[in-house]
Amino acid sequence: MKFAFNSNVGKVRPHNEDSGGIFQHPKGPVMAVVADGMGGHQAGDVASQMTSDLLKEKWLNTPVMSKPTEIEQWINEAIQLVNERLFLHAKANRECQGMGTTVVLAVCTEEFVSIGHVGDSRGYLLNSCGFQQKTSDHSLVNELVRTGQITEEQAEHHPRKNVLLRALGTEPTIKIDVETIDWEEDDTIILCSDGLSNKVNDSEIEELLRLSNSVNDKVDKLIDLANDRGGEDNITVAIVHYSHDRQEQG
């Protein structure tokens, strides 16, 4: 597999509340993580960084799993554990009260990809059938669109676009969406925070992913495009490309 990750503060925010990374298990499978913190400086930073660090530690110390059911259960348990740690940390530290974070993670094996998410950070799949968003935003505007109260066009400029219905760390327990999908040689998984998806549409992401550039270059081009369009938010992108060629990572 080839993979690349980068996180950028953008052009407006004074600090980066996004976090994440791509972590290869000693036995081969790869886990990509993107977390978008909220709650202001300190709190948002802490929430997203704790999420990334805890998931990385748990992943690298977990025996290798081969079945989708095993990995889906692992994702559920891992994210629940992170949620509990964040919730308790916020209760114990006044400066972190109200903190939370989105999370989207993808465990990529040779046969399949299992994706778990909470919030509005997204996971997409590019394959021979096209480009598809595989996660559904846990946001107010997405719920309004889903129930037919507003159109997708109205959602783009809705004044409460950033209101989340689910986030890690805000409640003692959390509902997690988990899905397993098949993938094949030359397919690509991309995870991102809303700093990218609010600025670059699906067709533009697909167009850049289909270029022959390296995965590192694709990550950088996506971030540059979001920044060219204002970069009002932090921008984080993780790409995993299914390839048997020499590993390339960044």
Task: Say which CATH number the domain at 72 has.
Answer: 3.60.40.10
| 3-class state of residue 118 by DSSP | strand
- State the pLDDT at residue 120: 95
Residue 217 forms part of a structural domain? yes
pTM given for the model: 0.93
- Whether 119 is in a domain gets the answer yes
* CB atoms near residue 160 (< 10 Å): 10
DSSP category for residue 11: S
Residue 40: the pLDDT is 66
Burial class (CB in 10 A: 0-12, 13-18, 19+), 162: middle
Domain of residue 128: give its range: 2-241
Domain annotation covers residue 174: yes
Residue 247 lies in a domain: no
3-state secondary structure of 37: strand
Give the whole-angstrom CA distance, residue 240 versus residue 21.
Answer: 11
Q: CA 242, CA 12: separation in Å to the nearest integer? A: 34
Residue 248, domain member (yes or no): no
SS3 for 120-148, per residue?
CCEEEEEECCEEEECCCCCEHHHHHHHCC
* Residue 249 maps to a domain: no
Q: How many domains does the chain have?
A: 1
Residue 66 lies in a domain: yes
Which phi and psi (to 5°) does residue 86 adopt?
A: -65, -45
Show the low-confidence residues of the chain (pLDDT under 70). 40-42, 245-250
CA distance 236 to 74: 24
250 within some domain: no
State how far Cα 94 lies from the chain centre: 27
The candidate with the shortest Cα–Cα distance to 11, out of 235, 243, 193, is 235
Q: What is the pLDDT of residue 20?
A: 98
